[in-house]
Chain A
Amino acid sequence: EDQVTQSPEALRLQEGESSSLNCSYTVSGLRGLFWYRQDPGKGPEFLFTLYSAGEEKEKERLKATLTKKESFLHITAPKPEDSATYLCAVRPRRDAGGTSYGKLTFGQGTILTVHP
């Protein structure tokens, strides 16, 4: 069964203090790893899709990297508006039924708080 574990559960940073969030995964062949940002009471906002080990993608202060067993979301010089829950999800190459249509398995998220 596909599993995604995110750490830490919560992270408090000072504005400008760079850090990384971790996403460890177990999947029967990776077809895609996804990062989302979620504000309280809202739906997740798509950030990145990564497909293969060594791949990196950037968006403003965020950079996502991928290895064969984990992904990191690096936050450079964060601002208070970066405060949110960050979710990681995987899409397997094949699920238990032998197909992969797009089911995403999510981790529990990392709650990021950036203080001014």
Chain B
Amino acid sequence: DAGVTQSPTHLIKTRGQQVTLRCSPKSGHDTVSWYQQALGQGPQFIFQYYEEEERQRGNFPDRFSGHQFPNYSSELNVNALLLGDSALYLCASSVTMGQGSYEQYFGPGTRLTVT
């Protein structure tokens, strides 16, 4: 059973550029959440996608946008990159209408460095 996968593993971009990160959820999961984790900090919620729509958003500017596809995979887009956007970007998947314990499973992350 494949877990959550993310690509690419590492990325180096220049300030002002745009970046797209990709995520495939765990088999059987229909909901994808994105988090940003700065060095030495806990993950911070960016937004969550379900049924191809953004349904919850954290305190992140509009430069951060996303998309969910019919196969439940998702993309995170960041425009006009700032040095402060350098972080580990994590994708987590879950089941919205599942029975039993609620669990969010994380992918390995994409390390973004902005120079």
Contact = CB atoms under 8 A, between A and B. Distances in A.
Interface of A: 4, 31-32, 34, 36, 41-46, 49, 87, 89, 91, 95, 97, 99, 101-109
Given A101-B55, A105-B45, A108-B40, A45 B96 contact: no
Interface of B: 4, 6, 31, 33, 35, 40-45, 48, 50, 55-56, 58, 88, 90, 92, 94, 96, 101-109, 111
B101 to A, nearest CB: 5
Given A108-B40, A108-B42, 9 more contacts: A32-B102, A43-B90, A46-B105, A49-B101, A89-B42, A101-B56, A102-B102, A103-B58, A104-B92
B102 A95 contact: no
Nearest to B4: A43
Contacts, number: 72
Contacts of A43: 4, 6, 90, 106-109
A44 B33 CA distance: 13
B41 A108 contact: yes
